[in-house]
C-alpha cells in the first residue's frame, strides 16, 4: 500500500467534498477570536507585507483584509481551493491580495528575487498536513528564507498531549507501531489519515518538543505557544469546525540569511 505523499494530500484538497467544506468556512466562519487576537498582537502594522502559506479557500486571507492589512501574498498548491479564494476575495474587496499556486516545501522556486516579507502565517494546522518531518522542516526553512530578520511567524498545530483522551489514544498508537500494526499508509509516528463527511484528511500530530526542535533547526526562534482554549473561548461554530489546537509564534533569527 503506497505511503501518503504530497500528491495524495493535493488530490484530497482538490476533492469537491473538501472544497465545499473549506469554502463554506471561508464564507461563513471567518477568523477565529484566537486568530484575530494573535494577529493583532504580533502583526501590529497594517502595512506589513504578509505571506500566508496554505491559504486554502481564503478564510484567513480575506480575514486579514477585513482587519485592514493591505499587502498580502497568499499561496496554496490546491487549484480548486485557490479558485474559491480568488472568488471570495473578489466578492469581499480583496484587491490587495496576490494569490499564487505554490508548494510550501519549494517556495523559493516561486518567489525568486522577491523582496523579503515582514511576517508569515500558516494557519489551521496547514503545515501539519505536509507528510514527512523533513518536508515540514523544508517548508519552515523556505518561509524563513522569504522573511526579513525578526519577522514573526504564526502557525498552529494539533498536540497529541493536549488532553487525557489524546494521550490515551496515542499510547494505543504507540503499541500498534511497536507491533508493526499501524496503518501502512502512514509515513511516521504521529500521523493520522481518515475520511469523514468533509473528505479525506491527512494530519501529523506532533508533541510540543518536536515543534521546538523543528523551529530551532530551520532558522526560527520560539517566542510563544498556547493551546487555543488557553487563549480564549471560541463560538460553538469554531469548535465544531476545528478541534483543540496549539498556536505558535516564532521569529526569524537575526543570524539567518
The pLDDT score that the predictor gives to residue 112 is 85
Residue 257 domain-assigned (yes or no): no
Residue 1 domain-assigned (yes or no): no
- We report the CATH number of the domain holding residue 130 as 3.40.50.150
Q: What percent of the chain has pLDDT over 70?
A: 99
The pLDDT score that the predictor gives to residue 221 is 98
What radius of gyration do the chain's Cα atoms show?
Answer: 17
Residue-wise pLDDT for 64-73, tens only, equals 999 999 999 9
Residue 54 backbone dihedrals phi, psi, to 5 degrees: 60, 50
Residue 189 domain-assigned (yes or no): yes
Query: Are the beta carbons of 146 and 218 closer than 8 angstroms?
Result: no
Residue-wise pLDDT for 136-172, tens only, equals 999 999 999 999 999 999 999 999 999 999 999 999 9
Residue 45's pLDDT band (cuts 50, 70, 90): very high
Report helix, strand and coil shares of the chain as percent, to nearest 5. 45, 20, 35
The pLDDT score that the predictor gives to residue 107 is 96
Strand (E) positions, 77-213? 97-101, 119-122, 152-157, 191-196, 199-204
Residue 254's pLDDT band (cuts 50, 70, 90): confident
Q: What percent of the chain has pLDDT over 90?
A: 94
The pLDDT score that the predictor gives to residue 71 is 97
Q: Looking at the predicted structure, is the pLDDT value of residue 257 above 80?
A: no
The pLDDT score that the predictor gives to residue 256 is 66
- d(CA 241, CA 83) in angstroms, rounded, equals 22
Residue 12 domain-assigned (yes or no): yes
Query: What sign does the CA torsion over 166, 169, 175, 181 have?
Result: negative
Domain that holds residue 122: 6-252
The pLDDT score that the predictor gives to residue 255 is 79
The rounded Cα 94 to chain-centroid distance in angstroms is 21
Q: How far apart are the first and last CA of the chain?
A: 41
- Give the residue-averaged pLDDT of 38-49: 97
- d(CA 249, CA 101) in angstroms, rounded, equals 25
The pLDDT score that the predictor gives to residue 213 is 98
Query: Are the beta carbons of 75 and 53 closer than 8 angstroms?
Result: yes
- d(CA 169, CA 161) in angstroms, rounded, equals 10
Kindly give, in sequence order, each residue whose CB lies less than 8 Å from that of residue 198, ignoring residues fewer than 6 positions away: 17, 18, 21
Residue-wise pLDDT for 79-131, tens only, equals 999 999 999 999 999 899 999 999 999 999 999 889 999 999 999 999 999 99
- d(CA 21, CA 203) in angstroms, rounded, equals 16
The pLDDT score that the predictor gives to residue 209 is 97
**Cα dist. 187→2, 11, 23, 54, 167 in Å?**
10, 17, 28, 21, 20
Residue-wise pLDDT for 20-29, tens only, equals 999 999 999 9
Residue 46 domain-assigned (yes or no): yes
The pLDDT score that the predictor gives to residue 223 is 98
Q: Looking at the predicted structure, is the pLDDT value of residue 1 above 90?
A: no
For the chain, give the mean pLDDT: 96
Number of domains in the chain: 1
Residue 113: its H or E element: none
Residue 106 domain-assigned (yes or no): yes
Amino acid at each position: 500500500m503506497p505511503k501518503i505523499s504530497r500528491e495524495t494530500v493535493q488530490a484530497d484538497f482538490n476533492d469537491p467534498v473538501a472544497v465545499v467544506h473549506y469554502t463554506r468556512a471561508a464564507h461563513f466562519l471567518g477568523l477565529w477570536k484566537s486568530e484575530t487576537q494573535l494577529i493583532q498582537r504580533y502583526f501590529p502594522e497594517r502595512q506589513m507585507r504578509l505571506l500566508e502559506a496554505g491559504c486554502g479557500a481564503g478564510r484567513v486571507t480575506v480575514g486579514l483584509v477585513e482587519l485592514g492589512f493591505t499587502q498580502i501574498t497568499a499561496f496554496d498548491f490546491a487549484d480548486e481551493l485557490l479558485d474559491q479564494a480568488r472568488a471570495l476575495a473578489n466578492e469581499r474587496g480583496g484587491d490587495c491580495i496576490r494569490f499564487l499556486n505554490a508548494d510550501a516545501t519549494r517556495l523559493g522556486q516561486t518567489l525568486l528575487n522577491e523582496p523579503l516579507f515582514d511576517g508569515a502565517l500558516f494557519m489551521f494546522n496547514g503545515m501539519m498536513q505536509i507528510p514527512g518531518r523533513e518536508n515540514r522542516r523544508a517548508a519552515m526553512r523556505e518561509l524563513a528564507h522569504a522573511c526579513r530578520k525578526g519577522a514573526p511567524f504564526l502557525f498552529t498545530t494539533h498536540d497529541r498531549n493536549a488532553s487525557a483522551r489524546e494521550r490515551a489514544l496515542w499510547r494505543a498508537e504507540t503499541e500498534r507501531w511497536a507491533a508493526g500494526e499501524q496503518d501502512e499508509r502512514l509515513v511516521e509516528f504521529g500521523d493520522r489519515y481518515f475520511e469523514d463527511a468533509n473528505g479525506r484528511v491527512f494530519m501529523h500530530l506532533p508533541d510540543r518538543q518536536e515543534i521546538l526542535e523543528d523551529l530551532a533547526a530551520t532558522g526560527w526562534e520560539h517566542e510563544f505557544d498556547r493551546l487555543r482554549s488557553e487563549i480564549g473561548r471560541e463560538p460553538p461554530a469554531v469548535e465544531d469546525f476545528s478541534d483543540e489546537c496549539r498556536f505558535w509564534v516564532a521569529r526569524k533569527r537575526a543570524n539567518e540569511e
